[in-house]
């Protein structure tokens, strides 16, 4: 057997008897991994004269990139919008538990909160790689408080804010720091939002439009200033109207700057969006669809009363409401459930369903060179799934971190 030790002493693992998602297609190929990265086998054979140290038979499984959840408010009794003394152990618990749902990286999401909460919680969210300890953290998603009163949804009205004269300084004072922030959801119709969008974009922070009564031209202007995402499409925005389709109109707008793609999140849990609406969005703009869970602390727990930041919510089956109302407040769906529902509701291909939870969120965050694909030199964060898209095993950096 030729030696592969010339280049690296790290073991090479070859995953065989599988179909891997590469180039938008499920391909009957083996997957080769070394030192947490996906290897190009041709280079290995011809340049290094190397071979596998370990072969793993995947028994016909699908291998897909790990799921990336860019909007998750908590789960398993942990609420990211509550400033508790053991916040760190809470975030660790969620990152560990979501491995079984195929999530290998996520953006912990805070809903509208008082400034004191941001000042306490944000310093405790650090960007980190995933591993046996849990899914990687890509940075925080701050949903609010700069959103519309009319479309506040489950966000507490007394905490909502507007931009005053020093708009960006208002935002900084509210959050305390933007060090580990990856996404900010705001309402683009607010006065002075344009300068805020420009400043956030300049700092590499993704601006998302949501909880808003913006008309289409206000939404288009926000995109021209740098916004690239729509928070949970159809929910907490003006309904589609043929004379002014509002934010929804961005899906087919001809005013998007050249070379820019607008992405949109969808909670594909069968409750937040009717399957017909899911199909309309997907057919209008398939390459922009990003599956999100919008999961709350009650995900993974029995029905009953739980929290979402400052509010008490009630879980009734798969429905979550602000206590005493019929206002939907996040979901209790897991990411793998959302992928299966999306696949079933739209009749899309397996590849399309998987990419909506992996490739598209990676593209949104500009990390598709290392996450969201199984391309050579990408991070070896991937899942083994059966044909019905149930997760059988989760790998991060080439190491198994969860198995059914």
Annotated binding site: 143, 154, 211, 232, 235-236, 243, 272, 328-330
Q: Which pLDDT value is given to residue 1?
A: 41
Annotated binding site for Zn(2+): 143, 211, 232
Is the Cα torsion angle 368, 371, 373, 379 positive or negative in sign? Answer: positive
Reduced to 3 states, what is the DSSP secondary structure of residue 232?
coil
Reduced to 3 states, what is the DSSP secondary structure of residue 207?
strand
Q: 97 with 130: CB under 8 angstroms?
A: no
| CATH class of domain segment(s) 67-365 | alpha beta
Low-confidence spans in the chain with pLDDT less than 50:
1-6
Annotated binding site for substrate: 154, 235-236, 243, 272, 328-330
Name the active-site residue from 269, 294, 336, 379.
294
CA dist 303 and 404 (Å) reads 24
Residue 312: closest CA among 302, 298, 299, 300: 298
CA dist 221 and 381 (Å) reads 36
The model's pLDDT over 280-290, given as tens digits with 9 standing for 90+, comes to 999 999 999 99
> Where, residue-wise, is CATH 2.30.40.10 in the chain?
13-64+377-403
The model's pLDDT over 26-44, given as tens digits with 9 standing for 90+, comes to 999 999 999 999 999 998 8
Q: Which pLDDT value is given to residue 49?
A: 82
Q: 22 with 29: CB under 8 angstroms?
A: yes
Tell me whether strands 62-65 and 19-22 are parallel, antiparallel or unpaired: parallel
> How many residues are given for the chain?
404
Residue 57 known to be catalytic:
no
The model's pLDDT over 183-217, given as tens digits with 9 standing for 90+, comes to 999 999 999 999 999 999 999 999 999 999 999 99
Q: Which CATH number fits domain 13-64+377-403: 3.40.50.2000, 3.10.20.30, 2.30.40.10, 1.10.375.10?
A: 2.30.40.10
Q: Output the DSSP codes for 20-65.
A: EEETTEEE---EEEETTEE--HHHHHHTS----SEEEE-TT-EEEE
> Where, residue-wise, is CATH 3.20.20.140 in the chain?
67-365
């Amino acid at each position: 057997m030729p030696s592969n030790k010339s280049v690296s002493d790290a073991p090479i693992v070859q995953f065989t008897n599988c179909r891997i998602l590469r180039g938008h297609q499920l391909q009957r190929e083996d997957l080769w991994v070394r030192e947490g990265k996906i290897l190009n086998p041709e280079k290995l054979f011809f340049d290094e004269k190397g071979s596998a140290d370990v072969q793993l038979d995947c028994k016909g499984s699908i291998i897909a990139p790990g799921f990336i959840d860019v909007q998750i408010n908590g789960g398993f009794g942990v609420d990211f919008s509550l400033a508790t003394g053991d916040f760190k152990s809470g975030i660790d618990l969620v990152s560990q538990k979501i491995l079984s749902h195929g999530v290998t990286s996520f953006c912990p999401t805070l809903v509208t909160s008082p400034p004191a909460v941001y000042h306490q919680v944000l310093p405790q969210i650090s960007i980190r790689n995933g591993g046996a300890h849990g899914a990687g953290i890509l940075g925080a998603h701050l949903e609010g408080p700069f959103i519309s009163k009319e479309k506040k949804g489950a966000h507490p009205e007394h905490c909502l804010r507007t931009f005053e004269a020093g708009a960006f300084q208002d935002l900084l004072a509210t959050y305390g720091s933007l060090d580990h922030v990856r996404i900010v959801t705001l309402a683009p119709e607010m006065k002075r939002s344009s300068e805020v969008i420009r400043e956030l974009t300049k700092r590499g922070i993704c601006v998302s439009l949501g909880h808003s009564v913006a008309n289409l031209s206000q939404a288009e202007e926000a995109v021209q200033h740098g916004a690239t995402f729509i928070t949970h499409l159809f929910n907490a925005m003006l309904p589609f109207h043929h004379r002014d389709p509002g934010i929804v109109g961005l899906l087919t707008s001809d005013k998007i700057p050249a070379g820019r793609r607008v992405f949109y999140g969808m909670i594909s849990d069968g409750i937040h969006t009717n399957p017909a609406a899911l199909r309309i969005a997907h057919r209008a703009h398939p390459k922009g669809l990003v599956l999100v869970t919008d999961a709350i602390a009650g995900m993974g727990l029995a029905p009953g009363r739980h929290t979402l930041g400052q509010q008490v919510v009630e879980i009734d089956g798969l429905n979550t409401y602000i206590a005493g109302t019929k206002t939907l407040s996040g979901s209790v769906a897991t990411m793998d459930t959302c992928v299966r529902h999306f696949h079933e509701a739209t009749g899309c291909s397996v590849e399309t369903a998987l990419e909506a939870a992996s490739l598209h969120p990676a593209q949104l965050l500009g990390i598709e060179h290392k996450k969201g694909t199984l391309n050579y030199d990408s991070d070896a964060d991937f899942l083994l799934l059966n044909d019905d898209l149930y997760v059988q095993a989760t790998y991060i950096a080439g190491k198994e971190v969860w198995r059914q």
